[in-house]
Structure 1
Amino acid sequence: MIRAYANSSTPQNALTIFSQMLASSTDPDKYTYPFVIKACSAFSGLNEGQQVHGLVEKCEEMRENLYVQNTLISMYAICGCFEDARKVLGKMPQRDVISWNALLSAFVEKGMMDSARLVFDEMEERNVESWNFMVSGFAKMGFIEEARRVFDEIPVKDVVSWNAVISGYADVGDFSEVLVLFQAMLREKINPDSYTLVNVLSACANLGALSQGEWVYLYIDKNGICIEDVSTWNSMVGGLSINGFGEEAVGIFRKMLEDECKPNEITFVNVLSACSHAGLLIEGLEIFNTMIHEFKIEPTIEHCGCVIDLLSRVGLLEEAKEILKGRTLGHDSPVLWQSLLSSCINYGNMELARDVAEKLLKLDPQDNSGYVQLSNIYASEGKWERVAEVRRNMKSKGVTKEAGCSMIEIDGVVHEFLAGEGFVS
């Protein structure tokens, strides 16, 4: 029961069971203590952990047990008591690499890389995990050159080592080096995982390296790499979308569905945005309908905005308006109507622009831009009486148009001009 609670969302209950165990005069053993200490770590229960440590100190067998002592180091380090963690480490009759890694990982997790470096240099032995902690720690702090130096010194690298340095270069925007490292990784016969491939695909997208990106897609498909984490898929789709690879983003989205990974709201924002910027009308509308009817996801302003933009880019303004009029599609959002209004004006469809502007004013009567745009539409049609009516409505509702402003420097003095006024210094 202690083990179950220690690994649950209510680790405090492990301490309750442990107290009952002591009250029943049942002695805890080398299997009990690690789980109790782990439970203390889980909720940062320093006081409770110190009390358990006191019990450990009373038992010679527990004082000499490597596993028990290692969990104590982890507990103190997780709670931020690094001196106490070091004291436990220093008093241990024998230590292994796990003992050192417990302290090292805690410093890395806290971003205390100077302290981590001291521990790393002091370590009696290191394994690949020790090296990986240092590489990822420096990389996450943005110290990519130091991360690379440590990486190059690793005797035997694993996929985690490569991922740490690759993601580090991706984070600082050095996408060329990401691809260089990826190619080196393959030459070393290290099989990339989904985490590697996300960073590489992002690099390909940022560099416009379409052929290499396509190779990565084929690699994923050929090797049957299963990406279960939806956030990983979202990163791939989003990275391609942002960098203008709309068709490739849709391709990754379809593979996501083939692999039976359920997309979420973010997935659809990313792929609909990709369709919009790439002009993939049929694909975008199909995906939008799939989102609503198959995955039962209620469209948000972001989803609708992508679809409105998609339709507007190809001049399907009436269809965009119908989308906005849908009962459940965020039709009361002034932001979406404003987007449609801008598209109507750009395409010169003043009749529809007038209807949209009037709708916009109903939604947000205090927005001066709506009045100005409607006034301009009427003016372009020569309907001066309607222009005057719009201005009267503005005045009656207390809506004011911000005056235009210009500035000019004369003899070292900056003067500000407001529309309809002289200048003031």
Structure 2
Amino acid sequence: MIKSIQFLRSRRYEVFSPQQARCFSVSITRSRQPSTTVSSPTHFDFSGESPDAERTLVSALGSCASNNDVTCGRQIHCRVLKSGLDSNGFICNSVLNMYTKCRLLADAESVFRSHAKLDSASFNIMVDGYVRSRRLGDALKLFDVMPERSCVCYTTLIKGYAQNDRWSEAMELFREMRVWGIMLNEVTLATVISTCSHLGGIWDCRMLQCLAMKLKLDDWVFVSTNLLHMYCVCSCLKDARKMFDEMSERNLVTWNVMLNGYSKAGLIDQAKELFDQITEKDIVSWGTMIDGYLRKNQLDEALVFYTEMLRSGMKPSEVMMVDLLSASARSADSLKGLQLHGSIVKTGFDCYDFLQATIIHFYAVSSNMELALQQFEASVKDHIASRNALIAGFVKNGMIEQAREVFDQTHDKDIFSWNAMISGYAQSLSPRLALLLFREMISSSQVKPDAITMVSVFSGISSLGSLEEGKRAHDYLNRTSILPNDNLTAAIIDMYAKCGSLETALTVFRQTKNITISPWNAIICGSATHGHAKLALELYSELQSLPIKPNSITFVGVLSACCHAGLVELGKTYFKSMKNSYGIDPDIKHYGCMVDLLCKAGRLEEAKEMIKKMPVKADVIIWGMLLSASRIDGNVEVAELAAAEIAEIDPSHGGCKVLLSNVYADAGRWEDVALVRQEMRTRDVEWSRAFSGVV
């Protein structure tokens, strides 16, 4: 991008004559392969001379340009040449316009070179032709040699760069336009505002609004609407609403822009209030409200709006149905999903391939692979998205063999096919198969791995614990053009930590810019797992000084570190800060860490009270911690409580009975030992018997 800006700034702003420009156009044309295909002409009757022949020709050429009628346009061009009217600049520009609008640039360049009376309109038409064909380099070259540069040509070029997502170059052209003192119009300003919304912040919004007011262009509704959109994109909704309320004229697009601003910001109540004020709602208005509720995971409310929309006579779009069905899949509400599937069939949207894939995905997430398979059989089987949805569905439901069967039957595998299968093996504790498939991918497939592939590969290697495999995969990544994101960096750090090389994990962490929480979680948890509590807590302190918010995984690592180091009070402080400072509700893993911390410190009563206050029911692991600590502490009462809770959760759990028996034995209560052993025999409780591997 910087090179592009430097190129624009280094251009020579020279004024060329039309003859020089014509020669320059020849040099552009020679760098391109001329078109040799000529459409066979059809009959076109243009006989007779009349006083308004010029007007008739121009009108006919305009019609050809609008209807993309190349054959008729060529015949009129021939008539112009035969009648000698090619010396008429107005007619010649109309011919030029016809060829550019029909995307026949070779013919347009030929007309431009032979043009007897080149004027600014000729140049504008030619520049516009290059822009329409995405030949921005040629458009810029011709623009640089124009004898006169007007607002029209600048606007055309700015628009071209903006439409091709080259926002910085577009803004540089706008600045150049202002430096040369060329007055801009409402179209230019609207285009610049739209471009700046991809780059600027609040001050750019305000400066452009001031410019619009200064030039008295803010009365144009599309200029004001673009400004409103820019404020919304910059999350300046107060400024946006103030401007919205002050607008002298609003159209439906304006209302929808403000509505979308509220919806994207999660301010659904304000969006609802604004929505109710719209007199004539269109599909965009309804879709924005539905999307707003889906963003807030409020499927029921979204469906209420969907029903109201249908009652108003408005028909849904295919994108809306995809969003609603996908939300049903996320909420695991199979009944609503089934109803939506019925609506999709009634509206005829089931013929769309991408909707077929969404339906398969919905049934797979609902653990109904039978219906997912039926839907696949009824769809276009060659559609790769449907096959990928089925593969991912089998993987999600633990049906790896069936997933592999569909994968092997897929001839045109794409990156999603490979990623779904490799990820499936990595998640199903088949890491060696994941690595085998990865090697097959890089050796025999035209599809190359991406960052998501490598995350699954490193995850599989972490399960294997093979440092050599990890190093090989890391070396491969360094040799490729795959740009590691934070998730991939976290996977690499986690792999090295789990393979026993914490030092390498720390080196990788320090070598990368970690702007999200994932790499921090990987290194903090890895350090804690290896018993490096001091390092883990130092990293957490470093994280607190950055504008990165920790999440629940971060605190699992932090509390584990406190547990390893026996830092009870510090652990309690961090545990309380989860809710008080970061709004994170502790889950069973965090309570497990705290119970373990208190048990290891011999504070059994506190541990027991914490278990009682847990918002979720304690599992066997947490009660097992208390039972083990009770034996070490010799606390028979707490041991009996913990053993009773474990027996209620899992009556066949033999380990708790053995531990309770040992607690009784340590306390010299041999009658109770005998009772526990007798109970284990009568209830056929299973437990692992000790054995020697030597004798």
Provide the rounded CA distance (Å) in 1 between the counterparts of 2:326 and 2:131: 41
Q: Which residue of the partner structure matches residue 99 of structure 1?
A: 122
**Contact 2:158-2:171 within 8 A present in 1 as well:** no
- Of residues 142, 151, 156, the one that matches 1:128 is 151
Give the match for residue 241 of structure 1.
Answer: 263
Q: 2:329 & 2:289 partners in 1: Cα distance?
A: 13
Quote the offset at 1:43 in angstroms.
5.2
* 1:382 alignment counterpart: none
1:316-341 Cα distance to aligned partner (Å, 9 max, x none): x8xx55534538345994544566x5
Q: Which amino acid counterpart does residue 60 of structure 2 have in structure 1?
A: V
One-letter code aligned to 1:55: R
Query: Who is 1:378 aligned against?
Result: none
Residue-by-residue CA offset, 1:292-351 (whole Å, 9 max, x unaligned):
2112425864353377489x5xxxx8xx55534538345994544566x5xxxxxxxxxx
Match of 1:272 in 2: 290
What TM-score, normalized to structure 1?
0.64
Native 8 Å contact 2:93 2:122 kept in 1: yes
Choose the corresponding residue for 1:52, options 76, 93, 96.
Answer: 76
- With 158-167 and 173-182 compared, the bigger mean Cα shift is at 173-182
Alpha carbons of 1:75 and 1:206: their partners in 2 closer, same or farther (altered >3 Å)?
closer
SS at match of 2:283: coil
Pick closer, same or farther for the CA change 1:205–1:338 going to 2, 3 Å. farther
| Cα distance per residue 1:243-287 (max 9 Å; x no partner) | 4343444455445x41x25325xx544321202334668864542
Partner of 2:236: 209
Unaligned runs of 5+ in 2: 1-38, 346-355, 374-389, 407-420, 432-459, 473-498, 500-695
Between the aligned partners of 1:158 and 1:195, the Cα distance in structure 2 is 12
Aligned counterpart in structure 1 of residue 195 of structure 2, from 168, 175, 180: 168
Report the count of equivalent residues.
Answer: 342
Q: Distance in 2 between matches of 1:335 and 1:268?
A: 25
Distance in structure 1 (CA, Å) of the matches to 2:395 and 2:197: 41
Distance 1:152 1:323, change over 3 A: same
Residues 337-376 of structure 1 mapped to structure 2, 5 A cutoff? 357=367, 360-364=368-372, 367-368=393-394
**Cα distance between partner residues in 2 of 1:80 and 1:410:** 59
The amino acid of 1:226's aligned partner reads N
Q: CA deviation at 1:86?
A: 1.9
Give 1:211 deviation, angstroms.
0.8
Q: 1:297 pairs with 315, 329, 333, which one?
A: 315
What CA distance in whole angstroms lies between the structure 2 residues aligned with 1:205 and 1:370?
A: 38
Aligned to 1:226: 251
The residue type equivalent to 2:249 in the other structure is: G
Answer yes or no: is the 8 Å Cα contact 1:204–1:213 preserved in 2: yes
* 1:183 corresponding residue in structure 2: 209
C-alpha deviations, 1:360-409, integer Å up to 9, x for none? 24423685467559xxxxxxxxxxxxxxxxxxxx9xx99x9853233156
User: Which residue of structure 1 lines up, in the alignment, with residue 135 of structure 2?
Assistant: 112
Secondary structure in 2 matching 1:152: helix
Going from structure 1 to structure 2, the CA distance change for 1:64 and 1:85 (only over 3 Å counts) comes to closer
Residues 135 and 150, structure 1, Cα contact 8 Å, conserved in 2: no
CA RMSD of aligned residues (A): 4.4
Amino acid at match of 1:208: S
Report the structure number with the largest CA radius of gyration. Answer: 2
The equivalent of 2:174 in structure 1 is: 148
How far, CA to CA, are the matches of 1:150 and 1:26 in structure 2?
A: 47
Q: Which amino acid is 1:407 matched to?
A: I
Percent identical among aligned pairs is 15
SS of alignment partner, residue 315 of structure 2 = coil
Equivalent position amino acid for 1:275 in 2: Y
Seen in structure 2, the aligned counterparts of structure 1 residues 248 and 407 have a Cα distance that, compared at 3 Å, is same
Given that 2:325 and 2:337 are in contact with CA atoms closer than 8 Å, whether structure 1 keeps it comes out as no
Q: 2:231 & 2:220 partners in 1: Cα distance?
A: 16
Shift of 1:202: 3.9
Match of 1:34 among 33, 58, 61: 58
Conservation of the 8 A alpha-carbon contact between 1:105 and 1:133: yes
1:407 corresponds in structure 2 to 461
Instruction: Choose from 266, 282, 303 the match for 1:262.
Output: 282
Contact residue 113 and residue 138 of structure 1 kept, 8 A: yes
Task: Kindly indicate whether structure 1 or structure 2 has the higher relative contact order, using CA contacts under 8 Å at least 6 residues apart.
Answer: 1
